[in-house]
Amino acid sequence: MTVEPFEVLDKKQGKELYGYQIDAINSIFERIDNYPQSYNLLFQLPTGGGKTVIFSEIAKRYIEKTKKKVLILTHRIELCAQTSNMLSEISVSNKIINSKVKELEDQGDFSCFVAMVETLNNRLNDDKVELRDIGLVIIDEAHYNSFRKLFKFYSDCVILGVTATPLSSNIKLPLNDNYNELIVGESIRSLIDTGFLAKAATYSYDVNLRSLKVGINGDYTVSSSERLYGNYFMQEKLLYAYEEKAQGTKTLIFNNGINTSKAVYELFKDAGYEIRHLDNTNSEQERKDILEWFKTKPDAILSSVSILTTGFDEPTVDTVILNRATKSLTLYHQMIGRGSRILPKKKDFTVIDLGNNARRFGLWDSFINWQDIFRSPNSYLDGLVSDVEIERQFRYVMPEEIRERFKETEKVE
């Protein structure tokens, strides 16, 4: 399959393709050209770089070139809808396979299918659905291991996994077990320098994490996080940090636990701020109303858990507060990425880190050798700075009102 040079799309046909996106598409098609079947390819691009735009255009070009069909897999219903809308914008006939779809008698009318991984897995295992003439399978958020169960159904196809962080969600199941190679897209720093992402100003507040426990998934447990971040001192530190660095800005707060998020809601409300709380127990209408309020109010504060880490795009976010610690590089990038979208009058945003995360992973825009991580994920994880080592770097700064009492002393220990 010979790939001809791409032209930038006219905006009437869909979203404009930028130079780095065209380069990525050409690189991916070069691999598909060389390995037209039974080949698994992984593509990395930062949050905000336009992954959906890129793989939607890949789907369109693949269909046009090969006359075969494309299957796109996601792990959340919001991503299904976003992907379907993007495909429709560029005139790709597509159908969402959701829980309401029991059979596919009309599949001949569509060239592309968008499905939730669990829904499609159930249909395929029950022999309720058989997708015919699929040549390319695209997996969004490919670092999640739930997609592996579907690989056996499409072993003759080209599989393209797409992710911002090519590091498996399960350390025991590395991505290099299922993908032949990784293509790395533009870096965060490059996208900032060329004006495609906003620049982050990060403010870290030292937190003693000794009380946190690590669960079987390799990250801090919700229960131990709730105890730490729900206590009076951490609540006061959060409010202080907001008022010192972000007061009056549109702020998104990430917590590790619903109880903590609700406590944050009460804290800010009692302090006189307009704030909402959102978690996965809210109804679809409640979620819609809360997000519309957040979108339209300039100084809105929204406290949540992990529901907004993917499938949520609100460019007007000014501040992201990590009111939690995480050992997940993916989650770290997902949370901060919610504030990285640019606007004509927005070129930067604020990150307040209350979990020593920047010390653990480095700043959000720091260079990461994704090829090394893809090849040797355990080496990367083993090399992360431990909480004990981080705490040794803490430096106590005496408040001015106390230092004033010792103003005649040059050095106070």
In a domain, 277, yes or no: yes
One-character DSSP codes across 293-361:
HHHH-TT-EEEESSTTSSS---TT--EEEEES--S-HHHHHHHHHTT---BTTB-EEEEEESSSHHHHH
- Contacts made by residues 87-94, CB under 8 angstroms, sequence distance 24+: 87/56, 87/59, 87/60, 87/112, 87/114, 89/13, 89/14, 89/15, 90/9, 90/13, 90/14, 90/56, 90/57, 90/60, 91/13, 91/14, 91/60, 92/56, 92/59, 92/60, 92/63
pLDDT value for 5:
37
Beta carbons of 183 and 42 less than 8 angstroms apart: yes
Write out pLDDT tens, residues 294-332: 999 999 999 998 777 666 789 999 999 999 999 999 999
In a domain, 4, yes or no: no
Write out pLDDT tens, residues 145-160: 888 889 899 999 999 9
Is the same domain home to 162 and 223?
no
What is the extent of the structural domain holding 162?
11-187
Is the same domain home to 275 and 299?
yes
Check which CATH number belongs to the domain holding 116 and give it.
Answer: 3.40.50.300
In a domain, 1, yes or no: no
Is the same domain home to 206 and 143?
no
- pLDDT above 70 for 383: yes
Q: What angle do CA 220, 244, 278 make, to 5 degrees?
A: 50
Write out pLDDT tens, residues 78-113: 788 889 999 999 999 999 988 777 777 788 889 999
* 11-15, 80-84, 140-144, 347-351: least confidently modelled range: 11-15
Is the same domain home to 89 and 148?
yes
pLDDT value for 195:
96
Of 405, 391, 368, 387, which is closest to residue 45 (Cα–Cα)?
A: 368
Write out pLDDT tens, residues 220-251: 999 999 999 999 999 999 999 999 999 999 99
In a domain, 163, yes or no: yes
In a domain, 412, yes or no: no
**Helices 232-245/222-229 angle, 10° precision:** 70
Tokens 């937190």 found at: 207
Is the same domain home to 200 and 171?
no
% of the chain residues with pLDDT over 90: 69
Is the same domain home to 182 and 200?
no
Is the same domain home to 126 and 268?
no
Is the same domain home to 60 and 133?
yes
Is the same domain home to 173 and 232?
no
* 46-50, 148-152, 203-207, 212-216: least confidently modelled range: 148-152
In a domain, 178, yes or no: yes
- pLDDT above 50 for 1: no
- pLDDT above 50 for 2: no
Is the same domain home to 200 and 183?
no
Tokens 């729900």 found at: 230
**What average pLDDT does this structure show over 334-361?**
96
Domain boundary, last residue among 187, 217, 235: 187
Provide the token pair at 281: 């127990």
pLDDT value for 81:
87
Task: Please state, in angstroms and rounded to a whole number, the distance separating the CA atoms of residues 44 and 19.
Answer: 16
**Letter for the amino acid at 251?**
T
Task: Quickly count: other Cβ atoms within 10 Å of residue 186's Cβ.
Answer: 22
Is the same domain home to 215 and 180?
no
Sign of CA dihedral 94, 98, 101, 104: positive
Is the same domain home to 349 and 202?
yes
Provide the token pair at 299: 């100084």
Phi/psi at 161 (5° precision): -90, 140
Within 13 Å of residue 230, how many CA atoms lie on the same side as its CB?
15
Q: Label residue 4 by pLDDT band (50, 70, 90).
A: very low
Mean of pLDDT over the chain: 90
In a domain, 100, yes or no: yes
**What average pLDDT does this structure show over 178-203?**
97
- Provide the domain count of the chain: 2
In a domain, 208, yes or no: yes
- Length of the chain counted residue by residue: 413
Q: Label residue 406 by pLDDT band (50, 70, 90).
A: low
% of the chain residues with pLDDT over 70: 91
**What average pLDDT does this structure show over 384-405?**
77
